[in-house]
Chain A
Amino acid sequence: MKYKPYDLYELPKINDLKDMLFQKKKMSPDKIAFTFSKGKNIVSKTYTKVFDDVNSFGTWLYEKKHIGKHIAIIGENSYEWLMTFFAVTCGGNVVVPIDKELPENEIARLLETVDVEIIFFSKSYRQLVTNVVELLKKKITIYCMADMQNYIEIGKEQFTSWKNAFSNYKIDSKQLCCIMFTSGTSGNSKGVMLSHENIVEDINNSCKLFILEGNTIAVLPFHHAFGLVVAVLMAFNYGHTIYINKSLKTIQKDLQIAKPQTMFLVPLFVEMFHKQIWITAKKESKEKSLQRMMKLSDFLLKFGIDVRKKVFAHIRNVFGGAIEYIICGGAPLGIQYVKEFRSFGIEILNGYGTTECSPCVAVNRNLYHKDGTVGVVVPGIDVKISNSREVLVKGSIVMLGYYNAADSNKEVFRDGWYKTGDLGYLDDDGFLTLTGRCKNLIILSNGENVSPEELEADFLEYDEIQEVLVYEEDGMIIAEIYPNEECLVKKAELEFLQEHFDNICREINSKRPLYKQVKKIKLRNSEFEKNTSRKILRYKRKENTK
């Protein structure tokens, strides 16, 4: 742990999204809110311009009689995407962000499930949307977001003292604002209904834990709660500049323009940057010197001498040169990355959230963080751990429920508490640690419960282990290991490999209570089968075991 608990950050409270747009315009009218590239140019929009664009576009929507509708957005991250989001929600319509990467029939199914009547799409997805509309049985109105400027200009002209219904519309905080889909496997993703209060309270409360003191870049897709509510809406609420990254292909160039002080990322990005740093070091034959410098810098840091900014400037330059923090969420991140990036002078603050909780439930604070945890609980909500060690959440950030899914709602709510399906514990300092998913829990014949993810994390601390899966077989806990390539080559003889990993297992077991000890190590010579998010398919492992 670092430092001590300290006071919450105080930002002006916002009542709703419309209020947020208004407050920011009032506080910093000429400050740049969004920046993005358009062709070879860099376009900037001030907080005043954003407010005016939303007002004009919203007026256009009202004049089109698009009121009280469910409106989907399909497209890559863009300024137009965000203007659509604001104009739809601030006028009392319900926004439905859709994952553009899904197959057409799945998108059609989702749109039908949540009663979408209007779709806004980006130019590159015109064909996809046309095909989706053909699959749908009812009439759908579609608009291309490439024509946004026209809608704004028309709305601007329409806006007069008697055509101001949009700007006069008062948001009811309990009203449905947004339906976001959980990222379940195809066929079972559910529509999470978030109210205006849910989203705004998550922004108000989460902003008290973390402070953003510079620019940021939005790289996560906007159809994800983390990518939208945290990386854009929260960042907007701090009043800094957000660079909109439209395509991951341009991320390197965009980082050099955006020069973010903070980035909001999922582990996959952190792993990619890690890989990139070491590939570059290898190419320049500087791997060993980089390792040496890290050791030396870590050593000096123990005595309060911080040389990281100077020594690792070339690494920080990969991120634009101003990077200080990475807020990481969405999936567990190996502790080794946190330590490595800290050595470079970049603090990774892990957080935890679910779409159903709008999404942020806990996050490590700038100056109060603990490795291996997902931080302290967001103020203003209640988190408790059930007898079966499940994390339960109650409060203004918890969703209204799943759309048209009474059975699922019954399953996830108990006495007003939302059952996250995640296992974890709260320590004496108030930090939340996640240990796994309820559905993966191993229940042994002696009644003891073991979370496989917890044991897997221990194994993954060892460099020679590429992948590991822990499961129960015939009443025993088994760890099935896929060693990394280097290890396979070095210890080519199977019996040496087995001995090596048995030793590692003994080392891990010595720190664990008896019932949590791995009884057998199985080795495999191929990777585990994974889904498109590169997560191991647990149920497939038996078929692949050699």
Chain B
Amino acid sequence: MIEKVIDILVDYTILEKNNITEQSKLVIDLGLSSLDVINVVVAFEEEFDIEIPDQKIKELNTVGDIVEYIEQNV
């Protein structure tokens, strides 16, 4: 799961794949803007066929949070 998540994230950050971990923070570590976060959420929704409500988005702070949300809702 985490590999798939990182594969998507890597397109939106200047970091290399192997520098992204479960603990990486989306905004501080990966340098994503608030709009980038929305775009990656859309990418996850399409990839995993789930829906992440708008209000849930602000609770997704780390790569681990995303993985956890997807695992619980897929």
Contact = CB atoms under 8 A, between A and B. Distances in A.
Given A268-B33, A271-B35, 16 more contacts: A124-B53, A247-B54, A248-B35, A248-B38, A249-B41, A252-B42, A268-B35, A271-B33, A272-B35, A275-B12, A279-B11, A485-B14, A485-B15, A532-B34, A534-B33, A534-B34
- 8 nearest A-B residue pairs (beta carbon): A272-B35, A485-B14, A248-B38, A279-B11, A249-B42, A247-B54, A534-B33, A268-B35
B23 interface: no
Interface of B: 11-12, 14-15, 27-28, 31, 33-36, 38-39, 41-42, 45, 53-55, 58
Interface of A: 76, 101, 124, 247-249, 251-252, 268-269, 271-272, 275-276, 279, 283, 484-486, 527, 532, 534
A484 B15 CA distance: 10
19 contacts: A76-B54, A124-B55, A247-B54, A248-B35, A248-B38, A249-B38, A249-B45, A251-B38, A252-B42, A268-B33, A268-B34, A271-B35, A272-B33, A272-B39, A275-B36, A279-B11, A283-B11, A486-B14, A534-B27
Contacts of A76: 54
Contacts of A276: 39
Nearest to B14: A485
Contacts, number: 41
Nearest to B28: A527
A485 B16 CA distance: 10
Contacts of B55: 124
A101 B33 contact: no
B29 to A, nearest CB: 9
Give the dominant DSSP class at B's interface.
helix
B28 A124 contact: no
B41 to A, nearest CB: 6
A135 B2 CA distance: 40
A7 B36 CA distance: 40
Residue among A101, A271, A275, A532 having the largest count of chain B Cβ atoms under 10 Å:
A275
A279 B12 CA distance: 8
A248 B33 CA distance: 13
Contact of A101 (B31, B45, B53, B58): B58
Nearest to B52: A249
Nearest to A283: B11
A124 B33 CA distance: 24
Nearest to A486: B14
B50 to A, nearest CB: 12
Contacts of B14: 484-486
Which of A248, A269, A534 has the largest number of chain B CB atoms within 10 A?
A248
B40 to A, nearest CB: 11
Nearest to B45: A249
Contacts of A534: 27, 33-34
B54 A124 contact: yes
A444 B48 CA distance: 56
Nearest to B55: A124
Max chain A Cβ within 10 angstroms of own Cβ: one of B12, B35, B53: B35
Nearest to A250: B42
Nearest to A249: B42
Nearest to A128: B55
A269 B42 CA distance: 16
Contacts of B36: 272, 275
Contacts of B15: 485
A484 B35 CA distance: 20
B54 A249 contact: yes
Contacts of B38: 248-249, 251
Contacts of A485: 14-15
Contacts of A247: 54
A269 B55 CA distance: 20
Contacts of B11: 279, 283
A269 B35 contact: yes
A8 to B, nearest CB: 34
Contacts of A484: 14
A484 B58 CA distance: 27
Contacts of B42: 249, 252
Contacts of A272: 33, 35-36, 39
Nearest to B57: A249
A264 to B, nearest CB: 15
Nearest to A276: B39
B31 A527 contact: yes
B34 to A, nearest CB: 7
Nearest to A282: B11
B55 to A, nearest CB: 7
A283 B12 CA distance: 12
A534 B55 CA distance: 19
A468 B41 CA distance: 29
B57 to A, nearest CB: 8
A484 B14 CA distance: 9
A252 B54 CA distance: 16
A275 B30 CA distance: 14
Contacts of A271: 33, 35
A272 B35 CA distance: 7
B44 to A, nearest CB: 11
Among A249, A532, A534, max chain B CB count under 10 A is at A249
A321 B55 CA distance: 31
Contacts of B58: 101
Nearest to A529: B28
